Structure 1
């Protein structure tokens, strides 16, 4: 194959995945569908149904049993991000930058983002922060790193915020959420996750900010929605936020299947002849 032919082939393969400009162009149009994914099998199942797969640092709580997202490391995000990219073909893949990987300086943020993008194959990174992180977002975007913002309730700042309560309850707090969203959009973010805010604030931010606003615990008026896949599937049962809707109860199905398997093993019903190599045939 010629070099030109190879390039054309690769270009054709990558063009099937939703691009950053295509995602951004959906502002005010058909709502964008987003879900988290942390593994190759989950990415394969979700890929054909969503516009964006988010490799969230929520994996620390969902997969690793941490009490918050704070213990998640850059290496963990890279490993899971690469797994999701391998399992998806058409969705835009965004990987969270974990706590401590970008707050120190714009230069630190670029080093971390460059590692994530090179080692996972993702299309963008996401970081939490408002006006205080605008310079960092601008620094990254100018250097070719697409950035998704995250304002409102920011899990990485849970200790500073005093818990996981909804934001924007008072005029001052509401104005702060709006100012944060505007600053991150002006810094060059192609989209912003708006988490855990009062509905009227979400509506106002979506109407005011020119990039897609992806809600989680916000409003149906947002340009799209994101949830943790394990939450909607009933796989993460230790806590169910108010804003989660369960579309399945797979956790109960798993428990039932495990119980049936255990019973079959204990009664020697499994494995049967059809599950064994070279099983002896019975003669009459």
Structure 2
């Protein structure tokens, strides 16, 4: 049964952890749903793990929309959150238009955007328009350059206090869920305790109300780099290369296709076709 926003709140209240995974296409969404994951994020991480960009910044609305549609078709019974790409919510009007497209055209149940108190006016406008919003603070990949790169955030007292304020501001603005990325466990724990909305950690420790990881990271399908907070549950990338190498060898040696992979005519038909030649 598809979980909805009130269900996530009840899970936090009951102490039940929330599982979230990214998915970017029809088959991955099917697998995530079959595994029973609570919610799917169509993350702009697709720019790096699927499209080959160096960061999430180049990802466009059309790309996110395209992938959200595919995920929705693959996971009809799972709550789907779509990332809003860099600069797609630079103003209230732009945010309303783009978030509306992700729900109306993409089939998403909610949108996610990065930032703290600076995006409160955007979150207020979206929620007032009936668009469910997930917040994202800590390491925000779209603005990583401003943060000094892909580094842990909130290690000094001032920044830690600011993250707490950011979380409170986003909850007050109407966000129903908050992603905490790459921040110390103690800070994430304090934010999770302070807020009534659930928190989802990624590199933020066990005290969050749930956890999210990237599909390609946990399955070993993306090997350009591996963040410390990633646990790899399988090495499918290596297995895939071995399978492709076997295919290559069998084609070269004429082992493939074998008879069981081949269509053939009956001897009678062959005789009629070529017997008089």
Task: Work out which of the residue numbers 38, 44, 55 in structure 1 matches 2:30.
Answer: 44
SS, match of residue 125 in structure 1: strand
Task: Work out which of the residue numbers 224, 229, 245 in structure 1 matches 2:231.
Answer: 245
SS, match of residue 159 in structure 1: coil
Structure 2 Cα separation of the partners of residues 18 and 37 of structure 1 = 17
Structure 2 Cα separation of the partners of residues 24 and 72 of structure 1 = 31
SS, match of residue 229 in structure 2: coil
For residue 143 of structure 1, what is the aligned residue in structure 2? 129
For residue 101 of structure 1, what is the aligned residue in structure 2? 88
Structure 1 Cα separation of the partners of residues 61 and 6 of structure 2 = 27
Cα RMSD after superposing both structures: 1.1
Structure 1 Cα separation of the partners of residues 93 and 76 of structure 2 = 31
Aligned residues: 265
Structure 1 Cα separation of the partners of residues 265 and 202 of structure 2 = 54
Ranges of 4+ aligned residues in structure 1 off by more than 6 Å: none
Asked if residue 276 in structure 1 is aligned to residue 266 in structure 2, the reply is no
Structure 2 Cα separation of the partners of residues 190 and 34 of structure 1 = 15
Structure 2 Cα separation of the partners of residues 243 and 279 of structure 1 = 57
CA contact (8 A) 1:273 1:279 kept: no
For residue 12 of structure 1, what is the aligned residue in structure 2? none
Give me the TM-score of the superposition, normalised by structure 2: 0.94
Structure 2 Cα separation of the partners of residues 89 and 171 of structure 1 = 43
Structure 1 Cα separation of the partners of residues 265 and 251 of structure 2 = 18
Within a 5 Å distance, the mapping from 1:44-123 to structure 2 comes to 44-48=30-34, 49-103=36-90, 105-123=91-109
CA contact (8 A) 1:20 1:123 kept: no
Give me the TM-score of the superposition, normalised by structure 1: 0.91
SS, match of residue 101 in structure 1: coil
Cα drift, residue 90 of structure 1: 2.2
